[in-house]
Structure 1
Amino acid sequence: MRQHLASPSKANFRQVRVVFDETFNKSACLDLESHLIRWLAGDGQFEVANGNEGIVDARYYEREIYRESFADIFDQLRSEGLFRQTIPEIENSDLFKLSPFKVLTTEQASAVENILEGLFQDLAVGGTSTSVIEGHPGTGKTIVAIYLMKLLADIRDYDSAVDFEPDSVFAEHFVPENRELLRDLRVGIVVPQQSLRESIKRVFRKTPKLSQAQVLTPFDVGASAEEWDILLVDETHRLNQRANQSSGVNNKRFSSINQDLFGADDLSKTQLDWVRAKSRHQIFLLDAEQTVRPADLPLATLRGILERARADNRAFHLMTQMRVAAGSDYVAGIRALLRGEPSPDGLRGLGDYDLRFFDDLGEMRRQIHARNEEHGLARLLAGYAWKWRSRKDRSAFDIEIDDVQLRWNSTDKDWINQPTSVNEVGSIHTVQGYDLNYAGVIIGPDLRFDTVSGRLVVDRASYHDTKGKENNKQLGVVYSDDDLLTFIRNIYGVLLTRGILGTYIYVCDPALREYLRAHMPVSE
Structure 2
Amino acid sequence: MTLSVSNAATDKISPLLPLTTEQAQLVERVFTFTTTHVTGNGPAIFTIYGDAGTGKSVVLAHLFAAIQTAARTDATSPLADTENYFLVNHPEILKVYREIAGQQPHLFKKDFQRPTTLINQINQGKKHADVLVIDEAHLLLSQADHYNNFYGDNQLTALMATAKVIILVFDETQVLRLKSFWTEHRLEHLLAPFAHETTRLTHQFRMQANDALISWINDFTHQQLRPLPASAGQHYDLRTFTDAEQMRQAIVQRNQAVGLSRIVSTSGYPSTLDGGKHYITEGKFHLPWDQYNYTSTPWAELPQTIDEVGSIYTCQGFDLNYVGVILGPPVKLDDHHRLIIDLNQYTDVEAFKRRTDLTDPHELTLIKQQLVLNSINVLMKRGVQGLYIYAHDPRLRDYLANA
The TM-score with structure 2 as length reference comes to 0.89
The Cα shift of 1:468 comes to 1.2
**Following TM superposition, by how much is the alpha carbon of 1:359 offset from its aligned partner in structure 2, in angstroms?**
0.5
**Cα deviation, residue 222, structure 1:** 1.7
The percent of aligned pairs where both chains have the same amino acid is 28
Cα deviations by residue, 1:363-405 (Å, 9 ceiling, x for unpaired): 11110000001000010000011112695444xx511111221
Aligned partner of 1:430 among 310, 314, 317: 314
**Cα shift at 1:274:** 1.0
Amino acid in structure 1 at the alignment position of 2:189: G
The change in CA–CA distance for 1:458 and 1:342 in structure 2 (over 3 A counts) is closer
From 440, 444, 454, give the equivalent of 2:324. Answer: 440
Structure 1 residues 467 and 389, CA, compared in 2 at 3 Å: closer, same or farther?
closer
Aligned twin of 2:189: 304
Contact 1:100–1:146 (CA under 8 A) maintained in structure 2: yes
Query: Are positions 1:402 and 2:283 aligned together?
Result: yes
Equivalent-residue separation in structure 2 for 1:372 and 1:275 (angstroms): 41
Residue 217 of structure 1, CA deviation: 1.3
Q: For 1:347 and 1:282, how far apart are their aligned partners in 2? A: 43
Which residue pairs with 1:188 in the alignment? 85
Q: Which residue of 2 aligns with 1:385?
A: 268
* Preserved CA contact (<8 Å) 2:43 2:161: no
What is the alpha-carbon distance in structure 2 between the residues aligned to residue 333 and residue 306 of structure 1? 32
Task: Single out whichever of 338-347 and 147-156 deviates more from structure 2.
Answer: 338-347
Aligned residue runs from structure 1 range 151-170, under 5 A: 151-158=66-73
What displacement does 1:126 show?
5.7
Give the residue type in structure 2 aligned to 1:408: W
Identify the residue that residue 101 of structure 2 maps to in structure 1: 204
Q: 1:114 aligns with which of 11, 15, 29?
A: 29
Q: How far did 1:357 drift? A: 0.3
2-side partners of 1:419 and 1:374: how far apart?
13
Which has the larger Rg?
1
Q: Distance in 2 between matches of 1:349 and 1:432?
A: 22
Please give the alpha-carbon distance, in whole angstroms, between the structure 2 residues aligned to 1:346 and 1:213.
Answer: 46
What letter matches 1:144 in structure 2?
A: V
- Mapping of residues 50-65 of structure 1, within 5 Å: none
Q: Which amino acid aligns with 1:485?
A: Q
Contact residue 321 and residue 327 of structure 1 kept, 8 A: no
* Equivalent residues of 2:261, 2:306 under 8 A apart: yes
Select 1:504's aligned residue among 381, 388, 400. Answer: 388
SS at match of 1:442: strand
Say yes or no: does 1:145 pair with 2:26: no
> Does the aligned pair in 1 maintain the 2:332–2:342 contact within 8 Å?
yes
Residue 132 (structure 1) shift: 0.6
Q: Which residue of 1 aligns with 2:19?
A: 104
> Shift in Å at residue 482 of structure 1?
2.2
Distance 2:240 2:193 in 1: 42
Cα displacement string for residues 40-69 of structure 1 (whole angstroms, at most 9, x for unaligned residues): xxxxxxxxxxxxxxxxxxxxxxxx9xxx9x
- Alpha carbons 2:143, 2:180 under 8 Å: kept: no
Contact 1:390 1:407 in 2 (8 A): no
Q: Distance in 2 between matches of 1:157 and 1:327?
A: 42
Q: How far apart in 1 are the matches of 2:98 and 2:111? A: 8
Residue identity opposite 2:133 in structure 1: L
CA distance in 2, matches of 1:107, 1:456: 37
> Which segment drifts farther, 182-191 or 407-416?
407-416
2:38, 2:130 within 8 Å by CA — same for their partners in 1? no
TM-score, structure 1 as length reference? 0.69
2:388 partner amino acid: Y
CA distance in 2, matches of 1:342, 1:350: 20
Q: What CA deviation, in whole Å up to 9, does each residue of 1:110-161 have, x standing for no partner?
A: 21121122222223556541101111111111111111111122334457xx
Secondary structure at the residue paired with 2:14?
coil
1:458 counterpart (330, 333, 341): 341
- Post-superposition offset of 1:231: 0.2
Aligned to 2:150: 254
Q: Distance in 2 between matches of 1:232 and 1:123?
A: 13
SS in 1 for 2:179: coil
CA displacement at 1:327 relative to structure 2: 4.1
Which structure carries more strand by proportion?
2
Q: Which runs of 4+ in 1 moved over 6 A?
A: 306-309, 343-347
CA distance in 1 between partners of 2:266 and 2:63 (Å): 33
- 2:249 aligns with 366
How much is the aligned-residue C-alpha RMSD, in angstroms?
2.7
Q: Please say if 1:411 is aligned against 2:288.
A: no
Give the 3-state SS of the residue equivalent to 2:251 in structure 1.
helix
Whole-Å separation in 1 of the counterparts to 2:221 and 2:400: 9
- The alignment status of 1:241 with 2:160, answered yes or no, reads no
- Structure 1's unaligned 5+ residue stretches are 1-63, 69-86, 160-175, 259-268, 520-524
Shift of 1:242: 1.4
**Contact preservation (8 Å) 2:38, 2:78:** yes
TM-superposed deviation, 1:272:
1.0
> Using the alignment, how far apart are the partners of 2:188 and 2:234 within structure 1?
34
1:217-272 Cα distance to aligned partner (Å, 9 max, x none): 11123212232110011101111111554x2xx3xx433xx4xxxxxxxxxx3111
